[in-house]
């Protein structure tokens, strides 16, 4: 069974546009997915990238056209008026939820879906325009996707530790942006939601 490390940030519009395609691809090929939220701004700093606020206006103007084009192509709603927010609290919740899901259904949980949790947080931001750094928003999405809302608090310590380790692991693995899909078995790397078709094709060769 192929294993995929999925590097992501819950504030990435490109991760939002990926929708549930990764999960559907993984199910089709019997692959496992490990969600690895990380500090995307620190990743840019570590790998030669440029933070959005420092990018050339031409790049920002192109991004402002390309995102709505992709949203229309995929039939997805995408808000472009979202403000900058702290991705760490939502990332910690994803990490804690994944840890509990891997350990089995704990008290207060209904056997949640980590992929659905990620998509719920991304939709809260890019469809509803909500601040996913807010505790109430994180708790609401946790509950809606089958997890105990208390994970928003209970998972802080393990979330913070793993968040930092995910960044180091990403740098070592050659990751430089998100969404980024690393197939561990073959060391094949795919950057961007527009490379999911290539990932699908590759998994079919394993």
Identify the band that residue 19 occupies on the pLDDT scale cut at 50, 70 and 90: very high
C-alpha of 171 from chain center: 16
CB 109: neighbour CB atoms within 10 A? 19
Identify the band that residue 105 occupies on the pLDDT scale cut at 50, 70 and 90: low
pLDDT at 103: 81
The catalytic residue positions are: 12
Q: Where are the domains of the chain?
A: 3-204
User: Which architecture does CATH list for 3-204?
Assistant: 3-Layer(aba) Sandwich (3.40)
- Residue position matching structure tokens 């999925």: 6
Secondary structure, 3-state, 94-137: HHHHHHHHHHCCCCCCCCCCHHHHHHHHHHHHHCCCCCCCCHHH
pLDDT at 155: 79
Query: What's the token pair of residue 195?
Result: 């490379």
Identify the band that residue 157 occupies on the pLDDT scale cut at 50, 70 and 90: confident
pLDDT at 112: 84
Query: What's the token pair of residue 98?
Result: 């994944």
Indicate if the pLDDT at residue 107 is higher than 50: no
Rounded Cα distance between 39 and 170, Å, is 10
Identify the band that residue 63 occupies on the pLDDT scale cut at 50, 70 and 90: very high
């Amino acid at each position: 069974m192929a294993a995929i490390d999925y590097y992501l940030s819950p504030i990435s519009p490109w991760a939002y546009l990926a929708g549930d395609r990764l999960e559907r691809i993984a199910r089709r090929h019997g692959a496992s997915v490990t969600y690895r939220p990380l500090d995307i701004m620190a990743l840019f700093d570590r790998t030669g990238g440029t933070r959005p606020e420092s990018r050339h206006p031409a790049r920002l103007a192109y991004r402002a056209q390309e995102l709505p084009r992709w949203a229309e192509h995929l039939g997805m709603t995408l808000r472009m008026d979202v403000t900058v927010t702290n991705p760490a609290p939502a990332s910690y919740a994803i990490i804690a939820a994944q840890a509990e899901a891997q350990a089995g259904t704990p008290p207060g949980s209904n056997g949640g879906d980590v992929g659905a949790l990620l998509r719920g947080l991304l939709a809260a931001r890019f469809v509803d325009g909500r601040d996913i750094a807010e505790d109430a928003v994180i708790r609401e999405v946790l509950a809606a996707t089958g997890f105990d809302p208390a994970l928003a608090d209970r998972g802080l310590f393990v979330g913070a530790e793993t968040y930092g380790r995910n960044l180091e692991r990403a740098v070592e693995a050659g990751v430089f942006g998100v969404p980024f899909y690393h197939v561990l078995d073959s060391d094949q790397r795919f950057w961007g939601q527009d490379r999911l078709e290539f990932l699908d094709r590759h998994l079919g060769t394993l």
